[in-house]
Structure formats: structure tokens, C-alpha cells
Amino acid sequence: MQQPTTPSGTRGPAIRGPAIFLAQFLGSQAPFDNLPNLAHWAASLGYSGIQLPTLGTQCLDLQRAAESQTYCDELKGLCAEAGVEISELSTHLQGQLVAVHPAFDGLFDEFAPVELRGQPKARSAWAIEQLHLAAKASQRLGLSAHATFSGALLWPYMYPWPQRPSGLVEEGFAELARRWRPILDAFGEAGVDLCFEIHPGEDLHDGASFERFLDAVDQHPRAKILYDPSHMLLQQMDYLGFIDRYHERIGMFHVKDAEFRPDARSGVYGGYQGWLERPGRFRSPGDGQIDFKQIFSKLTQYGYDGWAVLEWECCLKDAGQGAAEGAHFIRQQLIDRATRAFDDFAGVEGSTSSNRRLLGLD
């Protein structure tokens, strides 16, 4: 992607932003009640992009967006008028319903239309159709990436006790691949990357599980990662090394902070405690332990040119304060890529003959 150019002639930030995921801010009162109000609110805080949830019609009508270019052009126009653009669409909740273990049927039924609750097969078919609509809608909106969850068939068996029978994990990922492969193909036809948020509660919850999935879908080129370091810190993963290992598959980025402070009572599993008491907690960006300077440096180093999207989740700080601080925080992390080496002033002319002479070869 061509990078923007600043007035001085140097390249602008490789990473786009700041953007904000609107899911946590939806409400019945203005300015959180509809897309025009939300767009103006986000712009007033300094955001240049908004990531839209697609469950319900508060932000957009997904089916209409999949079918009508005129409608999509109108959406883009009203966002541009407010001073923002749509960064990506999200089907996190619909993606969750693509694959649900029966133990979670009752809880996840709330994500489905009322008429489909209590009907797991019909609910999954609806969710799959939602993803196909999202591929077409993203294409019509001119977007290059889409956010979702993988769902989970194996999460109840995450800890290997009681002992898992041979072949259980393999069969779980084979079934997950059977459900997602046609969806990935649809996103491929639309020219859009499908980015799975690596997240506890999903079968794709770390690098190893993502690799299993890639193997099961034959390394599908559209299977990408939504990188959110907060979920990795709470699992005590190397979230910086993750970028080194998987940067070619990182297609989206959520800026969300976290802290992990284990004690004598509980650790990674949290002891069934609420978010305020857990050793691992989500925090507003800058309030936790995540080294965002290193994250933005590594993503810039590897050429990531997508959006940096604030996902606000914090058990201490008010949402309004978190949103107001988030745009400035992200903007502080953005890096203008260097256009020349810092030691160019000391450069010397070189040639094959002079280089061989310096090496003592001639």
C-alpha cells in the first residue's frame, strides 16, 4: 500500500489511525444511538477511523450493505462528512456462533435472533450466512480486512484433564475447518482478509491453535490474525515474539492494554473471580503492562499498514475517559517510517573493485 507523504516529503505513518471499535459504546442515547452520531462523536475525540459491529442494525444493515452499492456509498459518505472512515467491519458475535459446543448453547443463544434460539443447527447456518454477507459488504465498502471470532468446539477440553481421547483435538479442528473453509473462499473472492481475533474462549486462542487451523484449511491465504496483545499477556505469552513469528499473517490490530499480577490465591485461571479481582485484568491503553512502543515498532518494521484500533475494555476506568484518552495515546505511538539511513552523511562511494581491494582480494 502506498504510504501517505508529509509536507516535508518524508513518508507518513506506516500504521493507520487512530481508529476505535464502536461495539463497547453502543447505547440508546445520543451520541451512541446511531452511526451518524457515533461518527461525529469519534471524530470529535480525534479518531480518523471507526470499526463497526454488524450484529443488529444500529451501525449498518449488513444484508443491505451486501446487496446495495448505493447504500454502502451512502455509509461512506456520511462517515466522511463527519470526518472519519470505516476501518473494518466486525462479526465477532456471529463468528462465535459458527461453532458452539453444546455446553455453551444457552449462553451464546443470546447472540442469535430470537426465532433461532434453542436451534443450534439453524443458528450456525444463520451465522455462516452472516459471514458471507460480511464478505460482500466489506468488498462494497472498499475494505481489505474483516474481524471475527472462530467459535469453539474444543474449549471445554482446553485443560487436558480428564485425559483427552486420541484424535479429539484433530477431529475438532477438522470440523472447524469444514465450517470455515467455504467462508474463507468467499472472502477470497471478495478480496478481503478474514482476521480471527486470537482470544481465550475460541478454538483459535494462541499461536499453536492458529497453526493447527491453518494446517486444517491448507494454509488458506485469507486466514489472518487480529492481533490483540492483551489476550496474550493474560495467557503469559510472548506478545512481542508473536509478531516476529506471525507478522505475515497479522491483518488487523486492536490496541488494548492488560495487566497480570498473580498472588497466592489465583493466577492465569482467575479463581472464578470477577474482572476487578482477577490477577489478569484488561486496562485502558497506557494503564497496564503492555509495551506498545515495542509493538508499534515491530509492526512498523514488518510493514504492517493496517489500522490501529482502540478496543476499550477496562474494569476501573470509565468508558468515556478511556475513549477520550485513546486517540491521543495511539497517535503518540505512530511512527513515520525512515526514508534514509541515519548515517548516510558518513557514506562513501563503493564499487566492486574497491570492495574487493578492501577485502584483500585484489
Backbone angles phi, psi at 119, to 5 degrees: -125, 80
Rounded Cα distance, 237 and 233, in Å: 6
Residue count of the chain, please give it.
362
User: Quick one: angle between helices 319-333 and 292-301, nearest 10?
Assistant: 50
Rounded Cα distance, 287 and 234, in Å: 15
pLDDT in tens, 22-64: 999 999 999 999 999 999 999 999 999 999 999 999 999 999 9
Strands 257-260 and 280-283 come out as antiparallel
Backbone angles phi, psi at 216, to 5 degrees: -70, -25
Give me the tens of pLDDT residue by residue for the chain, a chain 362 residues long.
Answer: 344 444 444 455 689 999 999 999 999 999 999 999 999 999 999 999 999 999 999 999 999 999 999 999 999 999 999 999 999 999 999 999 999 999 999 999 999 999 999 999 999 999 999 999 999 999 999 999 999 999 999 999 999 999 999 999 999 999 999 999 999 999 999 999 999 999 999 999 999 999 999 999 999 999 999 999 999 999 999 999 999 999 999 999 999 999 999 999 999 999 999 999 999 999 999 999 999 999 999 999 999 999 999 999 999 999 999 999 999 999 999 999 888 877 777 777 889 999 999 999 97
Asked whether the bond before 200 is cis by omega within 30 degrees of 0, the reply is no
Domain 16-358 has CATH 3.30.1360.10: no
The domain locations on the chain are: 16-358
Rounded to two decimals, what is the model's pTM?
0.94
Q: Where are the alpha helices (DSSP H) in the chain?
A: 35-44, 62-67, 69-82, 92-96, 105-108, 120-140, 168-190, 207-216, 229-234, 239-246, 292-301, 319-333, 352-358
Q: What is the H or E stretch that residue 16 is in?
A: strand 16-21
Burial 83-105 (b: 16+ CB within 10 A, else e): ebbbbbbbbbbbbbbbbbbeeee
Which residues, in sequence order, are bridge partners of residue 257? 283
